[in-house]
Each structure stands twice: as structure tokens, then as C-alpha cells.
Amino acid sequence: MPREHYLNATYGIRSWLLTTDHKRIALLYLVSVTFFFFIGGTFASLIRIHLLTPGGYLVTPETYNKLFTMHGVAMIFFFLIPSIPAVLGNFLIPMMIGAKDLAFPKINLLSWYIYLVGGCFVLYSFATGGLDTGWTFYTPLSSVYSNSAVTPAVIGIFINGFSSILTGLNFIVTVHTMRAPGMTWFRLPLFVWAHYATSIIFILGTPVIAITLLLAGLERMLHLGFFNPVLGGDPILFQHLFWFYSHPAVYIMILPAMGVISEIIPTFARKPIFGYSFIAGSSIAIAVIGFFVWAHHMFLTGESAYAALTFSFLSYLVAIPSAVKTFNWTSTLYKGSISWETPMLYGLGFIGLFLIGGLTGLFLACLGVDIHLHDTYFVIAHFHYIMVGGAVMGYVGGLHFWWPKITGRLYPEGLAKTAAVTLFVGFNLTFFPQFILGYLGMPRRYHSYPPEFQVFNVMSTAGASILALGYLLPMIYLTWSMRYGKVAGPNPWPATGLEWKTASPPLTENFDVTPEVNWEPYDFDNRHDLGLDVKGHPSLAPAHGDD
Amino acid sequence: MHRTGELYGQFETLDQQRESASLGMWVFLVTEVLFFGGMFMTYTLNRSMYPEIFGEASRSINLTLGAINTIVLIGSSLTMAMSVWAAQVGKKQLVTIFLILTLILGSVFLGIKGVEYHEKFVEHHVPGLNFNFEPGSDAGTNAHAQLFFSLYFAMTGLHALHMIIGAGLLIWLIKESFKGRFNTEYSTPVDLVGLYWHFVDIVWIFLFPLLYLIDRH
Amino acid sequence: MSDNSADTHSEHHIVSPKVYFTIFAALMVCTFLTVEAAKIDLNAYFNGLNVIVALAIATLKASLVVLFFMHGKYSPKRTKLVIVCSVFWLAIMLFMTMSDYVSRPWK
Amino acid sequence: MVYITAICLFFAVAITVVVIYFFFKYKRKTPGEVGVPIHGDMRLETIWLVVPLLLSLTMFAGGAVIYVDYRRAPLDTLDIYVIGKQWMWKSQQPTGLREINELHVPVGRNVKLILASEDVIHNFSIPDFRVKMDVVPGHYNTMWFRPTKPGRYHFFCSQYCGTNHALMGGWVTVMEPSDYEAWLSGSSTADTNPVVAGEKLFTEKACATCHLPDGKGRAPSLNGVYEGKVALADGSTVTADDAYLRESILAPNAKIVAGFQPLMPTFQGQLTEEEILALTAYVKSLQSQPVPATGAGVAPAGKK
């Protein structure tokens, strides 16, 4: 390990709380999003235990409603949205493009503080009366009828929005102006492309949710009528504005995970990614088309049937870039040299789960089928496959992939593989039964349900306990490895990105000298610095195609 | 990151720094457009539902003050643009003078806005506080007029908040400019605050006809 | 460090005060026009014409501010793209949402 | 649905099998080994851009047909009003018979539910019939279905609506038409009849002082107006359906009938959903009344 690096360059609590080093800020985020993950996870566990019996005797209906609302708010706004961008993105983007830091390091630190302030408001709401509106805050339930602490929660999410906006702004500017010499747009790692696309959504979507929740909050505090039909407002307008952000927000969660997978797969298959420009382009396509589909959450609100037809059609269009990515990842494996190390297991798990999550989305985008499935457990299962099976798997996989870079040490491989398999099994057992429940018609957000649904609920709860174990394991061995793990060296896998050209853990300024890039991305064959057996290759077929 | 003169450590050149800062500001303004956009959306829908009452309510706000404010604010945009120019050509004293003028015009705008708010308060036109549109108007008209005034206060209030933030930035700029910090080489803060100030002006350019000029015939 | 550094000098374009004052005068005229236009019942000719005129003038004014006061006209392509994006996305939100409401009548 | 399932299953299984096959087939053999540098293939990219696109368009088309059919109720429906409020469902048969958390319908008839909410957004959902619709305060939504088998089926509230959301459900009872008639006549009484209640409100709320049946009042006659074409002051015409009548009561100035002044006060906040339904039912009952030659909301010739 290098003698001096970003972790030991300065000491003391002040040096962390006032740091402008993107790597340290990433670690601050790592700690805070993990905190919210465990809060949200605790709520989820209580929900699953409660649903063991149809009568649901563990908690009262009020408490149950608060549990699923707070689970959603904590997980979506304070874990999933910041997780990969603010932790891995923050840590890696400057290194991947060969910069010393993000363009605006102070603003980066400011985003973390804004996140904390927003988080405090939300925790305050959780602690004083909780929140029982559903994470969607549909009016007039949230703005008039709910008796819970809606106002602080809305303010918290409003504030937190600025954290996302500033992070997105920082990434966009950094990618535009801070690239090292030779780092052209089409040499950028796909992880950076994915984050660039994510940032577009941060920039264009987040302000809308901020203003919408502000209006709903004002409506609640001052008894105004923007979304209240009794005072002449329109509750459906709230849904339009809400989903204008919140549907693209789904892509905020999944795009960075796709970026992680696009790094892991070529590294562990040791060959260039198949169709680089298609994967990069599909990220941008998802970010852009993702803004045209929001009203597919509203097919049954009584929205115009013409609008419903349009939005359903556009929703199918947004499925195409995701399909293109999946096909390309699969083809990357063809004739690779595939290693079964932990990050690759997550990559494999991601493809499988994202496939199910994505394909079930086609059912929901289909107008006729959505009439039946809308607001049932089918929806719950679908978006958990995307958000947990996709985004969280990507996040945990990415943490394993870059852990040696972040800490300079390797984790115990055997334990890590066990955890990956546990997560995969636990996840499927938890959420696959929910597809069946949804098809049978069990509505979501029910604290008690007809007894015929019990079997699948018990299965789901059993799966959830395995899943919980799967999350605890990495927590333990990753923490352990920070001190006792094997020293990793600069490039343990080896991988081709610029971030692996510097020491692990990196120096405060990332590189001794600004690197110059003169190679194509994921080009294992021409990288003699990686110590690989390029000559031993059976057939060096001439590269053809789009690259 | 250490700093050499006006160059922050993460950048290689002043050009790169200026470019980044300017792009950053523009991207920030995009978020502002969408931020106000949510309100414009709410406004559009509500006005399309209650065109008559929106007209009636709009006629009750003071057109003269609104028009004067429009002129004042566009004037402040002019002085802001002039201070950017002064910085570019290196007339350090002019920078300060134009910044001060901008601040004065901005304050005049806020002052007039205050007078308008006070009028509305006296007329019971502030939503949530004993709102009563016209003596004897029925519940429905009242509710719909309250929608108009909710939007009026939300939109102009948010706009005024931006003005106040802008004024704060101006005060800081004036302080720095007094020290002679801005010159032909380095005027990024003036440029950025200028962009922000003009944006706030643009918001008002739309707010004025949408709120003050409905059915004035 | 970046492939766009060629653009930077155009961003430093100096606009002469004469241009600023001309634009200011144009903005004043537009403000006067929009107030006067609102006082005429244009809806009598074509329903909604009043709003259209008001918004057209406002858009013109905003464009003048963006192009000249904000130097949009002299900015690199990238900045122009950013401006276009903001307007485009705002339009998506307004247009697609309103399209739901205006097409509600179904039979 | 089967179609989508088949396609999705095919892709899910195919890709999973291929990925797992590759995992074993191309497992790394020596530590320094490198994969074959294949960068991409334009033909393949095109294929997997176009094929999924076409497949998904067929899915879209299939779903769209069902949806359009679902949103456009047939004409010969049995209309039942359903009102949701925290946390119960009230339904009202055309005869005025009311039920709470129960709904009786005859087998083999097209049934249209007209949905209204007293407070927050609910969703009336009958999974066994594959139908559901949001119940939104402030305007009517409709849904329709055609029960095919007698029996008792669960219905639920599917849109989260507060504390007892999970308890806001009940049973649809599908009966043989004869049983249904018997059930109706067994419990119907005059005072629950919405037409009677609506007629009473029509006088109490002073509607009758302007809306004279002969068309000589300050407001249009409502005879025959329901389902008729109404000419508006701005030159357009609308069909006087439930939503139009509701709007005319709550926001009378939104659509002014040609030849009349905007004089009517709004009744927003002064009528409960049930009262609005009663008034609507009364206006509907005037559908068969003779339409006066002048001063009517609907021109006699314009009647369908």
C-alpha cells in the first residue's frame, strides 16, 4: 500500500467534516446512505413479519401504514437515489476521467450537508408522529386528510432534492470540462456515461418534485387548494407533476447500476464490451425517453384515453434501450475468459433479476393488462426486482468491485460469494411470490388481507429473512476487511479503467501526474501494462462493428 | 484543494475554470426553469379551468405597480449587464457603480412588491388569512379566486425570494469589487451573478402578463 | 484539458453598451405593447388571442434577454444546447400534461 | 396476457440459459487468459433493436384494444352509482336501493358503475372481473363489466386512502336476473328513490325557480336534456352526460348554454356527493318529458 493516501493524508473529525476531497465525501455518503438503508430495512422487516398472518396482529393499521410509507421514503429518497451516484459516482468519476476532483468540490460537500439536513427533517417526521401517506404523497390524502407529520417530511424531501440537483450539476460539468488529455467522449467508461445520463434526470426532474411537494406542503399548512377538489383544485395534477419526476427517478436508480454492470462484465470476461456506443447511447436514450412516459402510472385515474394510449406506446419505446443493453451484456460474455469472482456473480445476478423486473414492466405498460395489475402486489414485485434486484445488486456488486480501490484491501472471497448467493436466493424467494399474489388480485398497502393469500405471504417473509442475512454478511466482512483484509495492490482484477492506474487507496489528488489516455476502453488486448497473456490468445479475429 | 491566485487546484487553467463555472451556472438555471415550471403548470391548468374568475381576480391587482416593477426590473438587468461589461473592459470603478445601481433597482422592486402585498392583505386577498374575494361572493367563486391568489403569492413570493438571494449575492459582489478583485482576467463571479439576475428578470417577464394582464379589457 | 477549450474565447465576447441600451429600449417598447394589447379585447377576433399575444411578447422579451444580456448569442454550442433543453423539457411538461386534460371528452 | 407472458418467458429463459451457458463454456482456464476482442456487430444490434420494438408494438396494440373497449361503456348498461368515502363503499341501484360494502348485479347484463368520492382518491377493484378504476374526488369516473357467472366475488379499494384502507372492501353478488328483480323489489322504498330525493332538492335549493319546465325561466329547461346535445354560448356543443351535469351544478359558469346569462351560483361545497347524484338522477328522469320549443337546454331536433 502507498505510504500516503487520501485516508491518512490528514487526521481528525474536522478533516472529514470539512473535506472537499470527492473520495472522502463519497465515504461520508457511504456511511449516511447505509444508515438510511438500515432504517428502511428495519421498516421492511416489520412489514414482512406483520404480513405473516392475514389478520395482521403485530401492529395497528395506523402503524402499518406508517411503516410502509417510511420504508418507501427512506429507501427511495435517502438510499436508492443517492446510493450509487453519490457514493460510487462521487468516488470514481473524477478518477475515471483523469481529473483531480469534481469541478466544484465545495458544492459537492454542500450537497452532503443538504442531504443531512433533509434527512434530519425526515427523521424528525418519523420520530414525531410518523408518516402515513404512502411515499407517493397523493393529494388530498396527504394535504388534507392525513393526521401524521407530513409537513416536516415534505420539507425534508424538498431540501434533499437540492442535494441531488447539485450532485447532478457537478457531474455534468465535470464530465464536460475536466477530462484528461486523450479522454474523448467515446473513450469514457460506460459507468461515466450512465452517470451523465443520470445527471440529466437529476437536473431536469428533481426541481419539479421539489416544487410539487412544496405546493402540497403549502396546501397543507395554509389550507390552499392547488390539488384539493373541494377548493377547486385538481388532485390528478399532483400526480402528473409527481410522476414527471418520480418515473424518471426510477431511471436515476437503475442507470448507475447499469453503469456498474457495464464495468464489471468486460473486466471479468476480460474482453471489450460488445457494442460500446449502443450501451452508451441507450443510457442517454433511457434518460430522455424516460421523461415521456410518466402518465403510465395514471392509466386508471380517469386520465384521457388518448393520453393513456400515447403514454403506453412511449412506455414500450423506453423498454427498447434496456433490452439493447441486456443483449449487449450477454454478447460480451461470448468467447470471453470469464472469472467467477464475487463482482461477476453480482453481475450475473443483476442480469437475471433485471431481466425479470424489466420484462414484467411490459405487462404493466400494456393498457389492458394494467387494468387488472395496477396497484396490486404485481407492481410491488416488479419495482422491487428493478430497484432491489437491479439497483441494490448493482450497488453491492460495485462496492465489491471497487472495495480494493476504496480501502486498498481485499475482502474474504469465500464469504463474499456466499453472501452473493444468499442475496440472490433470498431476494427471489421474497419477491417472486408477490408476482403471484398480484396476479391473484391482492391490492398493495394492505395491513390485513383475505386468508387465501397467506401461503405466498409466508413464503415472502421467509425469503425476507434470508435477504436480511444476505445484507448483514457484507456489512460484517467488508468492515472487517478494512483492517485485516489482504493488501490489494493498484489493480487486483485487473481492469482497464484509469482509476486502476493509481495506487489503492488513491492519493488525495488521485494521480501523481495528469494521465494521458491513448487506449480504447476495455481494450485488454493492447494493454501490455496489465500483465496478461495476450499472445496466448487462440484467435485474434479482426475487430469489426461499430466501435 | 489548494488555490493559486484565482485558480482552484482541481483546474489546470483559468479558461477551464471559467468554462466550468459558466456551464455550471447555466445548468443550474435549467433546474430553475423546471422549478418555476411546476408552478407554471399548476397555473396553466387552473386558469384553463376557471378563466372567468382568474380574469376577475387579476383585475383586482394593481396594474400600475406591476408595470412600474417590470420597468424597474428590466432596468436592473441593464445595469447588471453593464457591470459585466465594465468588468470585461477593466473599468473597476464602473463595475462597483453598476452593481450598486442594480442593487438599488432590485430593492425598489422588492419595496413596490411589499406595497402590493400590503394592499392585498388589506383587501383580504391573502389565501389562508380570512380570505374573502368580494363582499358577498359565493363559496365557489371565493375558492376559485383563492386559487388565483394562492398562485399569485406562491409565484411572486418565490420570485421575490430569488430576488432577495440575488440581492445578497450583489452585496457580496460589491464588497469584492470594492477591493478591486474583478478585472479583464477574472470576472467570473460577476458573470455568474449576472446570469442569475437576468434569469430572475425573465421569470418576471412571464409572470407579469400571466398574473396582471388577464382580461384587462 | 478539455476538447472544448477552443470555444472559451467566444464566451468572453464583449458586447458594447450600445447594444445593451438598444435591447433595453426594445424591452421597454415590448412592455408598453403588452400592457396596451391586454386592454384590447382581442378574444373577440379569435378566442384566446389575448393570451397568445401576451405570451408571444413575453417570449420575445425573454429571448432578447437570453441572447444579449446573458450573451446566449455569443455562447458555445454547449450552452445553447442547455438553453434549448430547458425550454424543451418545460414544453414537454406543459404540453403533455395539458394534452391529457383537453382530450378527456371521449365519446 | 398469455401472449405477453409467452414472449417474456421466452426472452427470460433464453437469455438466462445463454448467460449461464457462457459462464460455464467460457470459464477462465488460465489466470492470464484474455477474451477474444470482439467489439460489436452492427447487424446484431439492428436485429435486437428492431425485433423487440416490433414485438412490443404488438403488445401495445393488444393492450390498447382492451383498454379502449374498457373505457368506452356500451349504451345498454345498468347504471349503478358507487360512492367511496373513508373507509366504506356506498352503492345505489337505479331504483334507489342502497347498500353498504355490498353490490348486487344481475348476470349477463352490462353493468356500468359511476364512481364518486367524498374525500380522498379511492379505487374500486374487482380482481375476479379483471376491472378496477380510481375513484377521484371532484369528478366522475366510470367502469363497466359484464358478469358471466352467479356467485360472490371480493371487491377491494386498491388506491391507498388512509388508516383502514385494507378494510375498505366487500362483496359483489352476481345473481340470476329473476333473483335480482326479486331482490330489488323486496327492499325498494319510495323515500330512498334518488329521483324523489332529487326532486325535493330541486325545490329546496331553488333550482326550480329558474329552470322552468316550459323554458320561460331565466335558465334553460332541463326537460330531455340528459344525453342530449347542448349548444353553448361559445358556439360549441357538448353531450349532457353525468360529468356535464355535475360540472354545471358545481361550476355553472364553465359552460354557458347559448342564449342564457351566467347567473347561476355555484353549489360547490354545499352539496354532498349523494345529493349531487340525486339531483342528477332527477334531471335524468326528465329525459322523457316534452322539450319546449324555445328556452330549452337542448333543441328538440338535436335530440339523439
pLDDT confidence of A540, banded at 50, 70, 90?
very low
Cα gap A209→A503, rounded to integer Å: 41
pLDDT of A2 > 70? The answer is: yes
Distances (CA, A) of A516 to A141, A176, A183, A511, C1: 57, 17, 8, 11, 10
- Positive or negative, the CA dihedral D237, D239, D243, D247 is positive
Cα gap D264→D256, rounded to integer Å: 10
CB pairs under 8 A between B and C: 140
Average pLDDT, chain B: 91
For A181, the closest of C1, C89, C103 (CB atoms) is C1
Task: Locate the chain C residue with the closest alpha carbon to B217.
Answer: C39
Task: Tell me, rounded to whole angstroms, the distance of Cα A103 from its chain centroid.
Answer: 23
B41–A231 C-beta distance less than 8 A:
no
C4–A178 C-beta distance less than 8 A:
no
The answer to whether D266 contacts chain B (CB < 8 Å) is: yes
How many structural domains are present in chain A? 1
Is position B20 within any domain? no
Residue D23, pLDDT score? 87
pLDDT confidence of C106, banded at 50, 70, 90?
low
The one-letter code for the residue type at A261 is I
Cα gap D241→D244, rounded to integer Å: 5
**From the CA of B200, how many Å to the nearest CA of chain A?**
16
The answer to whether D2 contacts chain A (CB < 8 Å) is: no
Task: Locate the chain D residue with the closest alpha carbon to B49.
Answer: D254
pLDDT confidence of D192, banded at 50, 70, 90?
low
Q: By residue range, what is the domain housing residue D215?
A: 193-302
**From the CA of A105, how many Å to the nearest CA of chain D?**
36
Least Cα distance to A304 among C97, D125, D254 occurs for C97
Tell me: do D183 and D206 sit in the same domain: no
Least Cα distance to D177 among D108, D235, D114, D74 occurs for D108
CB pairs under 8 A between A and B: 120
The H-or-E segment that residue D231 falls in is strand D229-231
Is position A537 within any domain? no
Q: What is the pLDDT of residues D144-154, one digit of tens each?
A: 999 999 999 99
Strand order in the sheet with D151-157: D102-106, D170-175, D151-157, D122-126, D131-135
pLDDT of B1 > 80? The answer is: no
B16–C15 C-beta distance less than 8 A:
no
Grid cell listed for B158: 418565490
Is position D126 within any domain? yes
A276–D64 C-beta distance less than 8 A:
no
Domain end call among D163, D189, D215: D189
pLDDT of A3 > 90? The answer is: no
Residue A546, pLDDT score? 40
**Which is more confident, D206 or B2?**
D206
The H-or-E segment that residue D10 falls in is helix D2-25
Residue B105, pLDDT score? 97
How many structural domains are present in chain D? 2
C4–A176 C-beta distance less than 8 A:
yes
| CATH code at position D259 | 1.10.760.10
Is position B150 within any domain? yes
How many structural domains are present in chain B? 1
Grid cell listed for A288: 430522455
Contact D14, A362 (CB under 8 A): no
Strand order in the sheet with D98-100: D98-100, D88-92, D78-85, D111-117, D141-145
Is position D94 within any domain? yes
pLDDT confidence of B34, banded at 50, 70, 90?
very high
| CATH code at position A235 | 1.20.210.10
Average pLDDT, chain D: 85
The answer to whether D253 contacts chain B (CB < 8 Å) is: yes
Cα gap A33→A545, rounded to integer Å: 41
D250–B140 C-beta distance less than 8 A:
yes
Tell me: do D197 and D261 sit in the same domain: yes
The DSSP bridge partners found for residue D144 are D112
Is position A486 within any domain? yes
Cα gap A418→D7, rounded to integer Å: 33
Grid cell listed for D165: 384502507
Is position B12 within any domain? no
Is position B60 within any domain? yes
Measured N-to-C along each axis, helices A276-289 and A190-222 cross at an angle, to the nearest 10 degrees, of 10
For C98, the closest of B44, B67, B205 (CB atoms) is B44
Q: Say which range, A385-399, B31-45, C86-100, D27-41, has the weakest mean pLDDT.
A: D27-41
Cα gap A481→A505, rounded to integer Å: 14
pLDDT confidence of A545, banded at 50, 70, 90?
very low
Contact D56, A320 (CB under 8 A): yes
pLDDT of C28 > 70? The answer is: yes
The answer to whether B22 contacts chain A (CB < 8 Å) is: no
Contact A405, A504 (CB under 8 A): yes
Instruction: Specify the DSSP class assigned to residue A291.
Output: G
CB pairs under 8 A between A and D: 309
Domain end call among D169, D189, D209: D189
Q: Which of A333-347, D90-104, D175-189 has the highest mean pLDDT?
A: A333-347
Residue D258, pLDDT score? 79
pLDDT confidence of A460, banded at 50, 70, 90?
very high
Contact D269, B143 (CB under 8 A): yes
Is position A4 within any domain? no
pLDDT confidence of A17, banded at 50, 70, 90?
very high
pLDDT of D302 > 50? The answer is: no
Q: Say which range, A431-440, C76-85, D284-293, has the weakest mean pLDDT.
A: D284-293
The one-letter code for the residue type at A517 is V
Q: Which residues in B lie closer than 8 A to residue D268 (C-beta atoms)?
A: 139-140, 143
Q: What is the pLDDT of residues A487-526, one digit of tens each?
A: 988 999 889 999 999 998 999 999 988 899 988 899 888 8
Q: By residue range, what is the domain housing residue B169?
A: 29-212
Residue A542, pLDDT score? 43
Is position B18 within any domain? no
Least Cα distance to A82 among A206, A174, A190 occurs for A206
> H helices then E strands: how many in chain B?
6, 2
Is position D16 within any domain? no
Q: What is the pLDDT of residues A228-241, one digit of tens each?
A: 988 889 999 999 99
Q: Where are the domains of chain C?
A: 5-75
Grid cell listed for D62: 393488444
Q: Say which range, A273-277, A346-350, B110-114, D215-219, has the weakest mean pLDDT.
A: D215-219
The H-or-E segment that residue D81 falls in is strand D78-85
Place of cell 328513490: D193
Residue D296, pLDDT score? 66
D193 Cβ partners below 8 Å, 6+ apart? D95, D96
Is position B7 within any domain? no
The answer to whether A180 contacts chain C (CB < 8 Å) is: yes
Quickly list DSSP for D83-142: EEETTEEEEE-TT--EEESEEEEETTS-EEEEEEESSS-EEEEEGGGTEEEEE-TTS-EE
Annotate A36-66 with b (16+ C-beta within 10 A) or e (fewer): bbebbbebbbbbbebbbeeebebbebbebbb
Mean pLDDT computed over A528-534: 78
Q: By residue range, what is the domain housing residue A241?
A: 16-515
Mean pLDDT computed over A441-455: 92
Place of cell 374487482: D126
Is position D238 within any domain? yes
Task: Compute the 3-state secondary structure of chain A and give helix, strand, coil in percent, each to the nearest 5.
Answer: 70, 0, 30
Cα gap B42→B19, rounded to integer Å: 35
Distances (CA, A) of A151 to A142, A163, A231, A490, D197: 9, 19, 20, 48, 41
The answer to whether A237 contacts chain C (CB < 8 Å) is: yes
Is position D71 within any domain? no
Contact A422, A472 (CB under 8 A): no
Q: Which residues in A lie closer than 8 A to residue C86 (C-beta atoms)?
A: 204
Least Cα distance to A437 among A389, A479, A376, A492 occurs for A376
- Phi, psi angles (nearest 5°) of residue D101: 55, 25
Q: What is the pLDDT of residues A40-93, one digit of tens each?
A: 999 999 999 999 999 888 899 999 999 999 999 999 999 999 999 999 999 999
The answer to whether A138 contacts chain D (CB < 8 Å) is: yes
Contact A458, A429 (CB under 8 A): no
Using CB atoms, list chains with 3+ pairs below 8 Å to chain D.
A, B, C
pLDDT confidence of A425, banded at 50, 70, 90?
very high
Helix (H, G, I), strand (E, B) or coil at D188: coil
The answer to whether D267 contacts chain B (CB < 8 Å) is: yes
The one-letter code for the residue type at A90 is N
Least Cα distance to B159 among B203, B118, B193, B119 occurs for B203
Is position A533 within any domain? no
pLDDT confidence of C11, banded at 50, 70, 90?
very low
Contact A463, A385 (CB under 8 A): no
Tell me: do D281 and D293 sit in the same domain: yes
Domain end call among D170, D189, D208: D189
pLDDT of C5 > 70? The answer is: no
Grid cell listed for A33: 446512505
For B27, the closest of A99, A102, A203 (CB atoms) is A203
Mean pLDDT computed over A135-158: 92
Task: Locate the chain C residue with the closest alpha carbon to B206.
Answer: C58
pLDDT of D269 > 80? The answer is: no
For A300, the closest of D63, D133, D165 (CB atoms) is D133
Q: Which residues in C lie closer than 8 A to residue D234 (C-beta atoms)?
A: 47
Query: What pairing do the DSSP bridges indicate for beta strands D88-92 and D98-100?
Result: antiparallel
Grid cell listed for C23: 435591447
